[in-house]
Amino acid sequence: MVLLVSALLLIMILQLLPERDFQRARAAEHLVEHSLRVLRASALLFATIEDAETAERGYLLTGDDSHLDQYQAALSNQRQSSQNLRRLTADNSRQQARIAKLDGLVETRLSGLSRLIALYRTEGQKAALAAIATDDGGPAMDEIRDLLSAMELEEYGLLQLGTKAAEAHANHMRWILSAFVIVLLIVGGAVSERDIRNHTRDVEALRTSEERFRTLANAIPQLCWMTNADGWIFWYNQRWYEFTGATPQEMEGSGWTSVHDPKTLPAVLEGWKNSIAAGEPFEMDFPLRAADGAFHPFLTRVMPVRDASGKAVRWFGTNTDITAQRMTEDALRENQERLQLAQQVARIGTFEWNLKTGMNRRTPELEAMYGLPSGGFAASRNIWMDLVCPQDRELAGRHLREAMETGRFEAEWRVIWPDSTTHWLCGRALVSKDDAHQPLRVSGAIADVTERKNAELDVLRVNAELEQRVRQRTIQLEAANRELEAFAYSVSHDLRAPLRGIDGWSLALLEDYGAQLDDCGRQYLNRVRSETQRMGNLIDDMLQLSRVNRGEMKAEPVDLASLANGITAKLRDVQPERSMEFVIEPHLVASGDGRLLEIALTNLLSNAVKFTGTRNKAVIEFGRVEKEGEMAFYVRDNGVGFDMAHTGNLFGAFQRLHKVSEFPGSGIGLATVQRVVRRHGGRVWAEACLDLGATFWFTLGGRS
């Protein structure tokens, strides 16, 4: 049954065979058939002659007329055979010549036989037999036999040629058919006995299977083909023809070499030959030329199809276009080169440390940062920590342990190169974790920051030097300041003594010798005394100003309202004749230095009292408001005020906005207020209008 199915397949596949193969095979068959006919015709001719002779001799010996009938039939056959032979060899002049000669000889021979029959009839058996004994028919028969032999020999030669050609084509076709059968069997699967029993379905299945293979073979992106055991390619898929643009005729035999690059072809041929010889699979990369003439890189694989004995009987080959793969590889390589270049330029090294396997992949740049050649880590058998400067090991180890928790590593450490030089490295890495949240891999980048670090250390050193210098300078300044303060203190004391003398002795003069002076003289002495006292007050104010800059600042809760109440009580005592209303907001607690705040408040309230001197009733307010998130205190009066245009240096020492004759004063009071406020971290400002009173604001730094 399997044979029948194979035959059916063969019939089907025959239709796929190239027409030329058929023609050639048919021609070869004709040749063989023709030769066989010629041989058969010549043998028949010789037989008819022998038949005629046998019949004639039978008649001569028995006188039986039936032999004459046989004789006549033989003669008739002889003529037919002769004509047949002549026709068969019409295209062969040599054979035609032989046939012409043969006809003559046959004629001679047959006429001899007719003569003997006639002799038998006229002169009887004895005379006829005697004639046979002397008959020269023998040599004529030998000549016929020789001629026929020559003709046969010629036809045998032709037959041999024809047979060989036919065999070659038949072989070729047989291989093709066998290959198809094998492919069909591979693709379509083994044909089961049951399938075979169902003839129609079987044929249909095979057709489908074959169709499927063709579809498959033409659908795959690869080029594919099959060869016989010797590497003779007998089939290509459609893709091959599409890609190469070649025709089946061009691809016949070793036509495939024409789409190869001549540069790689020798190696391909060599490798392919070796694979065929060894019966081993063949695999190689080489370019193939596309229809447009451009070469594409291909990965070629050829697998042997083996028979039951393991012998390679066919080869099935595929060519896979790896242009895209090559481009990807090229792009990848390019990227890697670019990355490497970037790392080289940026002096960054990268690593990937697998915590499970302990494998640590480091770039050459990274190893260079440890003063090692490429692969130097593995060669030196050092672990990372061995190369870290001993002073930094504990820190680096701690950072690494923390990174296992946090997932991030960032640290700077020193390393000691094999040449004993120290270098600073800065590393950043990420720790990736597995599904169980266990650290799996640490990957990161390291940069050599020696230059930056040295610069930083330089900056630190310079800063330290600078700080030291600042400290020294501060100490010097503080000393100078103390000296100045001591000087101011000493001066103010020492200045007071002579003032006291001037005043005292002026008074002594008035008291003891006043009678001897006229009014004018006494007036002068009084002027001396009043100026002296003014200077005494000035010195006192200067002492106060210098005092607010000295001493420790305390920060304690101070009730400014109660301070103000105390101050205003004293002010009332000094000028009991004046009508003054003090409006003091109760409970104004702030953090500050009570002693200094009292000085400031005394100055502000004294000023308010002084500049309301011309009012029938002085109204002086002290309170607190929130201004822009800050608590601001104010002292407001209904006094003479001042022109805001002249307030530029209101808080500078010795600045005055009024004539001394109108409002006496040293011009130091507001400077003292400003110093007190500034020492508290606050600020002071004024709002006023000429003749409409003034408001002095101050804050004390802290948020309320």
Partner 1 sequence: MSSNKTILLVEDNPSDADLTRRALSRGHISNELMVVEDGQEAMDYLCAEGVYAGRNISETPALILLDLKLPRIPGLEVLRLIRADPRIRRIPVVILTSSKEEEDIGAGYDLGVNSYVRKPVDFKEFQIAIENLGLYWLLLNEPHPPVR
User: Among residues 393 and 534, whose Cβ is nearest to partner 1?
Assistant: 534
Give me the least distance between CB of 486 and partner 1, in Å please. 11
- The sign of the CA dihedral 613, 617, 619, 620 is positive
Spell out the residues 6+ positions from residue 360 whose beta carbon is closer than 8 angstroms to its own: 351, 352, 353, 354, 377, 384
Q: Which of 436, 550, 568 is nearest to 485 (CA)?
A: 550
- Which lies closer to partner 1 via its Cβ, residue 41 or residue 545? 545
Q: From the CB of 597, what's the least distance to partner 1, in Å? A: 15
The least CB distance from residue 476 to partner 1, in Å, is 24
Point out which residues bind partner 1 (CB under 8 A): 489-490, 492-494, 496-501, 503-508, 529, 532-533, 535-536, 540, 543, 547, 595
Smallest distance, partner 1 to C-beta of residue 510, A: 10
Strands (E), 46-136: none
Task: Give the residue with the Cβ less far from partner 1, 222 or 492.
Answer: 492
What tokens does 335 get? 């990227």
Please give the full DSSP string across 82-104, using - where no structure is assigned: HHHHHHHTTT-HHHHHHHHHHHH
Distance (Å, whole) CA 184 – CA 216: 12
The answer to whether the beta carbons of residues 636 and 693 sit under 8 Å apart is yes
Q: Is 243 helix (H, G, I), strand (E, B) or coil?
A: helix
Give the closest residue to 290 by CA, choosing from 315, 328, 321, 336: 321
Residue count of the chain:
704
In contact, 182 and 210? CB cutoff 8 Å: no
User: Whose Cβ is closer to partner 1: residue 532's or residue 674's?
Assistant: 532
What is the spatial distance between Cα 387 and Cα 364, in angstroms, rounded to a whole number? 16
Q: Are the C-beta atoms of residues 560 and 586 closer than 8 Å to each other?
A: no
Structural contact between residues 272 and 319, judged by C-beta atoms closer than 8 angstroms: no
Residues 559 and 562: their CA atoms lie apart, in Å, by 6
Nearer to partner 1, 161 or 525 (CB): 525
Phi first, then psi: what are they for 690, rounded to 5°? Answer: -60, 125
- Closest approach of partner 1 to the CB of residue 545, in Å: 14
Contact 267, 242 (CB under 8 A): no
Rounded to a whole number of angstroms, the minimum distance from the CB of residue 458 to partner 1 is: 46
- Enclosing H/E stretch for 524: helix 519-548
With respect to partner 1, which residue has the nearer C-beta, 492 or 602? 492
Least Å from the CB of residue 501 to partner 1: 4
| Nearest approach, Cβ of residue 547 and partner 1 (Å) | 8
| Tokens 């019409």, residue located | 90
Nearer to partner 1, 599 or 700 (CB): 599
Is residue 567 within 8 A of residue 558, CB to CB? The reply is no
Measured from the CB of residue 498, what is the shortest distance to partner 1 in angstroms? 7
Nearer to partner 1, 156 or 524 (CB): 524
Minimum CB distance to partner 1 smaller for 509 or for 631: 509
CA end-to-end span of the chain: 112
In the complex, minimum distance from the CB of residue 667 to partner 1, in angstroms, rounded to a whole number: 19
Query: CB-wise, 501 or 681, nearer to partner 1?
Result: 501
Q: What's the CA angle centered on 535, arms 530 and 539, to 5 degrees?
A: 150
Residue 529 C-beta: closest distance to partner 1, Å? 8
| Closest CB to partner 1 among residues 497, 515 | 497
Of the two residues 401 and 493, which places its CB atom closer to partner 1 in the complex? 493
Phi, psi of 417 (to 5 degrees): -75, 160
CB of 209 or CB of 544, closer to partner 1: 544
Q: Which amino acid is at 133?
A: A
Strand order in the sheet with 439-448: 360-362, 348-354, 439-448, 422-433, 408-416
Q: At what angle do helices 93-134 and 65-88 cross, to 10 degrees?
A: 160
- In angstroms, what is the minimal distance from the CB of 660 to partner 1? 18
Give the strand pairing for 295-306 and 282-289. Answer: antiparallel
Q: H helices of 419-518, where?
A: 450-513
Q: How far is the CB of 574 from partner 1 (least distance, A)?
A: 14
